[in-house]
Structures are given as structure tokens and as C-alpha cells.
Structure 1
Amino acid sequence: MALTKLDIVERICEQLGFQKNRSIDVAESLLELIKSTLASGEDVLVSGFGKFCVKEKAERRGRNPATGEDAILPARRVVTFKCSGQLRDKINGA
């Protein structure tokens, strides 16, 4: 089961004792800060968790799988994530 935004809001309510409206504001503010930082091209580093990076992808040749027709895929930016060593150890039970 995936962790949803609603789950995050509920955990903020439980662990910090905030009201639900305040917890929603906290979660939304955090996610907006991360999104705006990534949109500006900067990386987001969360110590003990990992690093979100913006990578530039060059224009490349592709193919439409439905028709087999060749196409040129435009250059774009993508977000990548690299987990920290602490998170990797926790996931692997070390």
C-alpha cells in the first residue's frame, strides 16, 4: 500500500498534535516548497533520506510503438531520486 498525502496529514495530526486543517497546510507547504525548488532547477537534499535532482535529457530519436513510425523526442528535464546510505540500510534491515 502506498503512503498517500492523506496518510501524511493524519500522521502530522497524531505526532505533532496539530488540527487537521493545520496539518494539511503543513503538508501542502512542504510539497510546494519541494516542487518550486525542483522547478527552478535546484536539487533538494533531505539529510538521512535522500536527494532529489533535476537532470537534463537531450533530444533523442524514438519510435511510436503503435505505428512503428520514427519520431524525435524533445529535450526535457526529469527528476531523479538517490536515497541516502541511512535509508538504504534501513530498507535492507542493516
Structure 2
Amino acid sequence: MPMAGTLTRADLADVVHQEIGLSRAESANIVERVLHHMCHALAEGENVKISGFGSFILRDKGERIGRNPKTGVEVPIAPRRVLTFRASQIMRERIANGR
């Protein structure tokens, strides 16, 4: 797995294949199923917490007034639901220590 760049589904499936020894197809299927369950839970309004990694949290943001930075004209910003990620303390320490 590359040290820099972007981690992809294929990279995750490859790690599952190498670490667990399942076939590449089975490994890819497991990764897809986990991501599907996470997406489904979020779509249903549930937060997703992965111990030692972090939490995916849904927030409802109310309507507010924004400003076009070029023209300065005020425009209403519609209410919306946003997804945020909060890394666990363990993950924050790993990132800070470069591991």
C-alpha cells in the first residue's frame, strides 16, 4: 500500500486479501459490503462509530444568509444535512506521531 496518495477500495480489498487470505473477489466483496452498510446507516440518519478510528456524524444545518464573495450580494443558503468525521483520540495520536 502506498505511503502517500489516496487509499482506494481496491487498496482495502488488497489488504484484506493479503492479511486474511481470502480470494481477491471475496476480499473486494467484504469491503463493498462494509461500505454499503455504512452508507445505508448514514442514509437512514444513523451516525457510524468505528472504535479506534473515528465517528461519521450527521448534522442538520439550518437556513442562513450567506454572501457572494465576488459581488457581496446576500443570498439565502438552504437548510441541509452534512456529514462530518471526527477522528478518535487513538487516530489523532497516530496521525500526530506519523504512524
Q: Same fold (TM over 0.5)?
A: yes
User: 1:68 offset after TM fit, Å?
Assistant: 5.2
User: 1:59 offset after TM fit, Å?
Assistant: 1.1
Alignment of 1:1-94 (within 5 A): 1-65=5-69, 69-93=73-97
Higher alpha-carbon deviation: 63-72 or 82-91: 63-72
Aligned residues: 94
Higher alpha-carbon deviation: 84-93 or 59-68: 59-68
**TM-score normalized with structure 2 length:** 0.84
Which secondary structure does the structure 2 equivalent of 1:3 belong to? coil
Please give the root-mean-square deviation of Cα atoms over the aligned residues, in Å.
1.8
Please give the alpha-carbon distance, in whole angstroms, between the structure 1 residues aligned to 2:23 and 2:91. Answer: 29
Please give the alpha-carbon distance, in whole angstroms, between the structure 2 residues aligned to 1:70 and 1:19. Answer: 56
Please give the alpha-carbon distance, in whole angstroms, between the structure 2 residues aligned to 1:54 and 1:47. Answer: 17
Displaced runs of 4+ in structure 1, greater than 4 A?
64-69
Please give the alpha-carbon distance, in whole angstroms, between the structure 1 residues aligned to 2:43 and 2:19. Answer: 30
Unaligned runs of 5+ in 2: none
User: 1:64 offset after TM fit, Å?
Assistant: 4.2
